[in-house]
Amino acid sequence: MSSEILAVLEYMEKEKGISRPDMIATIENAVKAAAERGGANSEPSEVRVEINPKNGTLQAWTLLKVVESVADTAREIHLDKARLYSENPQIGDMVEREMDPAYLGRIAAKTAEQAIKQRLRQFEKEHIYDEFRDQVGNLVTGTVRRKERGDLIVEVGKAEALLPWREQAPGEDWVPGERIRCLLVKLEQQGRGPELILSRSSLNFVRKLFDMEVSEIADGTVSLAAMAREPGYRTKVCVKSTDPKVDPVGACVGARGGRVKSIVREMNGEKVDIVRWFEDPIEQLVEALKPAVPQNVTLDRDKRRMYFEVKEDDLSVAIGRKGINARLTSRLLGWKLDIGKVVVKEVGFDERKAKAAEGLTSVGIEFEVADRLVAFGLVSPEAFEGVTHTDLVGLGFDDATAQHILEKVSTSSPASDSESS
């Protein structure tokens, strides 16, 4: 038995990392508990167990109280017999009687294996907790093992982690065997061991991806001033730089878009907008809404509410699909947004006709005559190019009026001006 115990101690120490004193204490406690319970017909007794760490020898002693009259053989011993195990024992003393090695071996064989397995499971749980307790808030990489009612079970190292359905990004579909990167958001100590909770929908998941891909963020030159996200659809990020020579947007985008492409790929194609940060909310609004252009912006600073208008063509861009762009911009700025449409005043035919007539009166033509000319399509002096006296008479003007019209428009035309110069 001693050689078997010694082999177990060496294996657990070298292969599993459980120290020899720890494993010895585990086996001793298991054997002690089993020995104290005794067999089916035995009464419980108090036992002391020792294992020699050098050679694996197992020894055990039953603790008995010295009495004059024995009433409980499992806990008491007569004074005369006590003298066999101790020198000069007295009534009331406790003496130790070594247990039968054969009986002890049978107990150890039954209990040691179970105790070792139990301690190994406990050690693995402790090891998992120690390994991941400092990783909360960081990215971890694992392998999808299975699905359980919408949740994903992910193998991370030697531990199994849970990616709940509510922490998954909409539109993602993972199958067993795929590699997956997640944010470790929580480490809970449960009765069955530590439970690792993962997330891919968290805003901090995107933040950690930027930390990983953009070296300027890691060294503090560039920082993420504000972020807003609709998981699975779009993320908006405001960036700023402490070094005027470093373009924060360019640093995050990377050469040929390499950095942001890596982030988008990790997010399974989710769109990422990177904009420069401005302290002024109106400037920030203009930057965040591009390519839509806000106009007539008014602020209610007390209510942190912002009203602005955009052209009709830009309205769908400003609001975005299902209102996503407007919501993200609002979260990014920390202001509520009221978006309106720029009203373009349409000029009617009569108004355009009157305006054209006024233009002809400016060259000296009477308004009534000008109004008739506009009705015939002659809306400006330039429109009279090629028009003859006969043409005007044909439109119903008398000779004198026709001559007067031609004189006035000819003196105001660019050609006559260049000739006179």
Residue whose pair of structure tokens reads 């990377």 in the numeric block: 254
Pairing of strands 295-300, 179-190: unpaired
pTM of the shown model? 0.62
DSSP bridge partners of 339: 308
Residue whose pair of structure tokens reads 């400037």 in the numeric block: 283
Helix (H) or strand (E) holding 30: helix 20-37
* Separation between Cα atoms, residue 269 and residue 263, nearest integer Å: 9
First-to-last CA distance in the chain?
A: 125
| CATH 3.50.50.60 fits domain 204-341 | no
Confidence of residue 144 (pLDDT cuts 50, 70, 90): very high
Helices within 291-398 (DSSP H only): 312-319, 324-333, 349-361, 367-375, 389-394
3-state class (DSSP) for residue 415: helix
Phi-psi region at 157: left, alpha or beta (left = phi > 0; alpha = psi -120 to 50): left
Mean pLDDT of 53-71: 85
3-state class (DSSP) for residue 231: coil
DSSP bridge partners of 235: 229, 272
Mean pLDDT of 313-339: 91
* Separation between Cα atoms, residue 76 and residue 79, nearest integer Å: 10
Mean pLDDT, the chain, integer: 84
Mean pLDDT of 298-305: 92
3-state class (DSSP) for residue 27: helix
Fold category of 2-130 in CATH: N Utilization Substance Protein A; Chain:P; domain 4 (3.30.1480)
Task: Give the pLDDT of residue 226.
Answer: 94
* Separation between Cα atoms, residue 322 and residue 65, nearest integer Å: 83
3-state class (DSSP) for residue 178: coil
Q: At residue 40, does pLDDT exceed 80?
A: no
Domain ranges of the chain: 2-130, 133-201, 204-341, 349-420
Question: What CATH homologous superfamily does 133-201 map to?
Answer: Nucleic acid-binding proteins (2.40.50.140)
Span 244-277, pLDDT tens digits: 999 999 999 999 999 999 999 999 999 999 999 9
| Residue 220 one-letter amino acid | G
| Helices and strands, number each (H, E), in the chain | 16, 15
Span 183-204, pLDDT tens digits: 999 988 776 667 899 999 999 9
Task: Give the pLDDT of residue 418.
Answer: 42
Q: How many CB atoms lie within 10 A of CB 245?
A: 6
